[in-house]
Structure 1
Amino acid sequence: MRRRLVLAVVGLVAIILVVHDIPLRSHLKRVEQDRVITALERDAFTLAAKSQQLLAGKSPSTDTTPTGVSLSTLVSDYRTNSTAEVLVVSGEGAVQIASDPTVQIGMSFLNRPEIASALLGNSTVGVRRSETLNADLVYAAVPVLTTDFVIGAVRLTYPKSVVDARVASRLRGILLVAFISLLMAFVAALIIASSAVRPLRRLKARTEEIAEGDLSARAEVEGPSEIRELAVSFNEMAARVEKMLAEQRGFAADASHQLRTPLTALRLRIEQAQMSALKPEVGIEELNEDLEAASGEIERLQRLVEQLLALARTEKKNVLGDVNVETVVQGRLEMWNSLAEERNVTLNFGAPGNVLVKAVEGTLEQILDNYIDNALDYAPEHSSISLHIEVSERDVKLSVVDEGPGMPVEARQNAFDRFWRGSESQNRPGGSGLGLSIVAQLAAASGGTVELSQNIPTGLVASVSLRKSAGNK
């Protein structure tokens, strides 16, 4: 990722520099050429003005101006401060003086278009190809004028290669600046990309720590807002994973402990039955008692395994649907009524009409079965168990109220923990401490809550609150 970020930034800067510098090269070349031509034309007019009186004399190279300066001295002085070639011709196009030693005095330059134009009274500037020198020249040619006549011309020339060299020099400076800009862009992009990637690398390191078993590892919440949000989400996920694994480990440990007791009891019962079978004096009745006790331990073990499986199923994500509370309650009362009659306990239910709640299919039935089963175990004879429904604006609360001994506050707070059993239920046959834990998880799977409270004057109120369905009228 860092490499891609750096390449993207440097590539963008490079494109900007290319788009900027290619037109700049043409602009620089044009500006430099215009600057040289302007300077040549200015100097040519200056030399033409100073050459006017000298060209009017008979020996221009040696005659002097009123200030006592000869034409050759003017050309020599100009060449001292400039690399331009100077050429002065008479009105007939014959060379009067030239800074180029290869040009002979008296040679005709009428065939040069700029000289011919200047002798016609025109000043010309531009670039042309010199066949004699086999090179491109930048030139300025101006006439030398008296009052009525053109008496000569002055031409100044530069090799175009000199202009190109100056442009190339400036371009080298621009390229150096561009290179420095690219280098600075690379360094800046590297710093920015490193600062952006650093939190991701730390997050990767925390991920590896968790993968290696350190579930307490958490990511540092730093960097850009997107990275911080990712780190927060990662930490929440890690916390959930740690909690789930801790619960699973605790569940496995508790389940192993709870399974060990009936298995040990079963083994002892079977061993006792085997020993009794080997003793001639032991009767069939005693042997049957041992086998019946072993069978009871098997049933207890089976119930415990079934409850563990039910608890595991409640941890899966399920789909919520509309459930009619009255229909469910009536069905559970019919199922438990016969057992309640055997124990001389009355089941009461005041139906408020059709009430719909949002719940996982089968959840409310299992919750009521656990509540009613517990209530029947502790309800005294000739007492009653009542089912109440309270409907609020958002929730529906279903309560199972018995008239048993109730539970102290501390016991009610711990009753929904896995494998927890109160002191009054330690001797309860078949108890595993998982019933109310299953109830709590079933309610949570449906987005509901559970509660145990004291009934006045005596007994326990076991409640479950579920969200009211939008289908209620």
Structure 2
Amino acid sequence: MRARLSLLVAATMCLVLLAFLVPLAVLLRTVARDRAVVAASADVQSLVSLVGTAEPAALRLSAEQLAATSHRPVTVFLPDGSVLGSPAPRTDAVELAVRGHSLTVDRPDGYEVVVAVQGRPDGTVVIRTFVSRAELTQGVNRSWLVLAALGVTLLLLGLFVADRLARNLVAPIAELSSVSHRLARAELTARARPAGPPELRRVAGALNHLASRIQELLRDEREQVADLSHRLRTPLTSLRLEAESLADPADAARITARVDDLERAVTSLIQQGRRRSTGDAARVCDATLVVRDRVAFWSVLSEDTGRTVTLDLVTEPLPVRVPADDLGAAVDALLGNVFAHTPEGTAFAVTLRPRPGGGAQLTVADAGPGLPGVPEVPRQSGGVPASMTPVIRGISSAGSTGLGLDIAHRAAQASGGRLCLSTGPLGGARVSLELGPPADRATPGSPAAFTSA
């Protein structure tokens, strides 16, 4: 925008300067020509009074003196054919002046000024002088150079002023853009400094108000989630008491362990909501540690349902740009789908590998019936192709809530990765979750996306 404003000012000033300087340059050339012709005519007129009274010798002396002082040839043609002053041929203009006509002739090499003086007893005397092209344009080139320098100076001065004004106008716009990008990166404390024209100051104020309002809404939403999660403690406490009162100690211990797991999940949800409301949530975790912990949790249930688990995890840490709670929720969603949508005894495999360029790639594949048929996508879903329907929030073709794959998809997208659905080597569904590296290790790449193989 700054360059365009400067270009607009430059174009406008060029048009104005051309409209002003071109006519002025033509006027200067005309004035110089008229000045030279008038000076030559004045020289000729100074001899007119002598022609009628002076003797030829005195007239010759006057003509020679005039030619020497005016730096142009002055010739006097007497009626008897003699020529006084500077030698010159009898041109057509001279022959015409003998008949009593004074005139100025424009020739290719200059101007010829001829004056006929009548009243002598022996006939008409013709006084001739010649103004060369160099004399006609004397000083014009220098004047044109001065005008060109003046025009360039004015243009540069205008561009400098336009650039300063454009910078003062563009700087607040660039700051507004920077603040909007920071808000898009969840930096809700970013605020714009009102500066520039009144319109931009109003935009900055509106953007700051919008950021404050978003921050308030998110804080209220997370507080409500935390409060709702906290309310679950009461039924959990009752469920724990019921489990402890069972007659079979083994059943009591098993159910109590499940209640403990559920209580830990509720506590984690409360803490996560509190941290996000204050903006200090951890954005990086070790994918190896989180995946191993969640697979260990689901392995107990897989033993109860007769499922074979193939676990292939790397041993070294794999840092990813996802909070541990979000990654744990995504792993729980993927493994929960296996247990919810495949028959008991269906085997599944979990693989965790480093991702090229940094990050990690988590793959969950099962030997079930595969992805079920997907219905037509409703209009409110935004026109997503049918192959992507399983990740649309709230839509499920298997009678579930439709949140599982969406949770995993959002976790991958937030890290700069993607979610891929395909048919796995076991014949069932294969879900691949690509997680991006931390910000200080990220490499340029394509934005987060969803693909279906």
1:12 match: secondary structure: helix
The yes-or-no answer on 1:146 pairing with 2:124 is: no
Counterpart residue number, 1:35: 35
Counterpart residue number, 2:77: 89
2:139 match: secondary structure: helix
Structure 2: runs of 5 or more not aligned: 267-453
The yes-or-no answer on 1:276 pairing with 2:247 is: yes
Counterpart residue number, 1:256: 229
Please tell me whether Structure 1 or Structure 2 has the larger radius of gyration of its CA atoms.
1
Distance across 2 between alignment mates of 1:44 and 1:222: 72
Give the aligned residue type for 1:277: D
The yes-or-no answer on 1:217 pairing with 2:194 is: no
The yes-or-no answer on 1:190 pairing with 2:178 is: no
Distance across 2 between alignment mates of 1:254 and 1:204: 36
Give the aligned residue type for 2:229: S
Distance across 2 between alignment mates of 1:279 and 1:42: 134
The yes-or-no answer on 1:119 pairing with 2:111 is: no
- Higher alpha-carbon deviation: 6-15 or 112-121: 112-121
Q: Is the 8 A contact 1:118 1:124 kept in 2?
A: yes
- Displacement of 1:200 in angstroms is 1.1
1:276 match: secondary structure: coil
Distance across 2 between alignment mates of 1:249 and 1:92: 121
Give the aligned residue type for 1:272: E
Distance across 1 between alignment mates of 2:235 and 2:79: 135
Cα displacement string for residues 251-272 of structure 1 (whole angstroms, at most 9, x for unaligned residues)? 2332332234433543x14531
- Displacement of 1:279 in angstroms is 8.9
- Displacement of 1:94 in angstroms is 4.0
2:112 match: secondary structure: strand
Change in CA separation of 1:93 and 1:263 when aligned onto 2, cut-off 3 Å: farther
Cα displacement string for residues 83-132 of structure 1 (whole angstroms, at most 9, x for unaligned residues)? 3222222225542220xxxx4xxx7x33x122123222221114113xxx
Q: Is the 8 A contact 2:63 2:76 kept in 1?
A: no
Q: Is the 8 A contact 1:37 1:126 kept in 2?
A: no
Change in CA separation of 1:218 and 1:24 when aligned onto 2, cut-off 3 Å: same
Cα displacement string for residues 36-78 of structure 1 (whole angstroms, at most 9, x for unaligned residues)? 2222212211123234444xx4xx3xx23xxxxx633553355
Q: Is the 8 A contact 2:36 2:135 kept in 1?
A: no
Counterpart residue number, 1:137: 110
1:230-269 equivalences under 5 Å are 230-266=203-239, 268-269=240-241
Give the aligned residue type for 1:271: A
Give the aligned residue type for 1:75: E
- Displacement of 1:197 in angstroms is 1.1
Change in CA separation of 1:75 and 1:252 when aligned onto 2, cut-off 3 Å: farther
**CA RMSD across the alignment:** 3.2
Give the aligned residue type for 1:97: G
Distance across 1 between alignment mates of 2:165 and 2:68: 56
Counterpart residue number, 1:76: 65
Q: TM-score, normalised by structure 1?
A: 0.49
Counterpart residue number, 1:442: none
- The sequence identity of aligned pairs, in percent, is 25
1:47-446 equivalences under 5 Å are 47-54=47-54, 57=55, 60=56, 63-64=57-58, 71-80=60-69, 82-98=70-86, 103=87, 109-110=89-90, 112-129=91-108, 136-147=109-120, 150-266=123-239, 268-269=240-241, 271-273=243-245, 275-278=246-249
- Displacement of 1:238 in angstroms is 1.3
Q: TM-score, normalised by structure 2?
A: 0.51
Counterpart residue number, 1:26: 26
Q: Is the 8 A contact 1:89 1:95 kept in 2?
A: yes
Cα displacement string for residues 149-190 of structure 1 (whole angstroms, at most 9, x for unaligned residues)? 644222121111332343222222211111111111111111
Q: Is the 8 A contact 1:219 1:235 kept in 2?
A: yes
Distance across 2 between alignment mates of 1:92 and 1:204: 94
Q: Is the 8 A contact 2:169 2:196 kept in 1?
A: yes
Q: What is the aligned length?
A: 258
Cα displacement string for residues 371-401 of structure 1 (whole angstroms, at most 9, x for unaligned residues)? xxxxxxxxxxxxxxxxxxxxxxxxxxxxxxx
Distance across 2 between alignment mates of 1:41 and 1:279: 133
